[in-house]
Amino acid sequence: MKLLDKLFEQQTRQLAQHSSRRGILKGLGTLLVGAGTIPLLPVARAAAADTPARPVEEGDEASCDYWRYCAIDGFLCSCCGGTKNTCPPGTEMSPVTWIGTCRNPADGRNYVISYNDCCGKSSCGACLCQRDEGDRPPYRPDKTNDINWCLGTASAAYHCSTAIVVGVAFEEK
């Protein structure tokens, strides 16, 4: 009997010395936060890959070094009363555009960018940006940005360019 008593006493004291009531709380807390984080892991994002890309972004869209402008040639609509996605008031967005890909430094992925021109007013003149990455000579008309892309609009007068994310670039695995 004494032996059993001693054994249990030893075990209990050891437990009391090496654990704390707060430790239980800490463990429970970790479990709660951890469970909450699991849906944020890439598994969930891969499953939702079909939804349109809304990339995490950084940088100033009114600056030529903004990531989406890697293949642009023109005036930034962000400096002309519009935004990277929208035309300034009084202009019409061309449905015919030239399209390229740019690498987003925030997540390291390549996105498909549509450089829709805004048309119907004379040149904006602010924030001229010519990065031209991937620009091809005019014998590749769909990949040259030296031509006026104000096609399909009421007026062919070029005002400024937007840079709209239309998808994620496909990469062979």
Partner 1 sequence: MRLVLALGLALLGPLVWGGDINPQRAQFNYQMSCQGCHAPDGSGANAVPRMRDQVGIFLASGAGREYLVRVPGSAVSALSDADLAEVLNWIVQEFAGASVTVPFEPYTPQEVGALRQHPLNEVMAYRAQLLADIASAK
What residues act catalytically? 98, 117
CB of 47 vs partner 1, minimal distance in Å: 14
For residue 166, state whether it binds partner 1 (rule: CB under 8 A): yes
For residue 97, state whether it binds partner 1 (rule: CB under 8 A): yes
- Of 6-14, 71-79, 97-105, 155-163, which part binds partner 1 (CB under 8 A)? 97-105
Question: Angle at the Cα of 121 (from 60 to 156), degrees rounded to 5?
Answer: 105
Judged by CB under 8 A, which of 83, 85, 86, 101 binds partner 1?
101
For residue 51, state whether it binds partner 1 (rule: CB under 8 A): no
For residue 53, state whether it binds partner 1 (rule: CB under 8 A): no
Q: Judged by CB, which is closer to partner 1: 66, or 98? A: 98
**Interacting positions 11-50 with partner 1 (CB under 8 A):** 49
Q: Judged by CB, which is closer to partner 1: 83, or 144? A: 144
CB of 65 vs partner 1, minimal distance in Å: 24
Judged by CB under 8 A, which of 53, 62, 64, 112 binds partner 1?
112
Are 116 and 77 within 8 A, CB to CB?
A: no
